[in-house]
Amino acid sequence: MTDELYEESLTDLEAHLAGTLRPVRPPSGLVHRLRERIRMPERRLIAERIANWRYFFVVFGSVISGMLVAVTLARALFHLFGRRSA
């Protein structure tokens, strides 16, 4: 009986949200400015970056360093705040 009640309330909620939520269109000027600011590099530049091993070395090193910093901060916060209940 509770499953039927749950399904009914879920269906009512979906119907209410479908009637309430409507798509919002951004102003055309905003979209135009964003397209001008965000540029995809040319295929030639992408190919040059892939061929350049130094670029990949720097990117790989940056990602690994960032992950190590995040893990270190998470462990420090866990150590400081996670063991207060003991």
pLDDT digits (tens, 9 = 90+) for 15-71: 888 878 777 888 888 888 888 888 888 888 888 888 888 888 898 999 999 999 999
What residues does each domain of the chain span? 2-81
Instruction: Locate 23 and state its tokens.
Output: 């798509």
Instruction: Locate 53 and state its tokens.
Output: 């091993």
Chain centroid offset of residue 74 CA = 19
User: Is the predicted pLDDT of residue 6 greater than 80, yes or no?
Assistant: no
Of 5-9, 15-19, 76-80, the least confident:
5-9
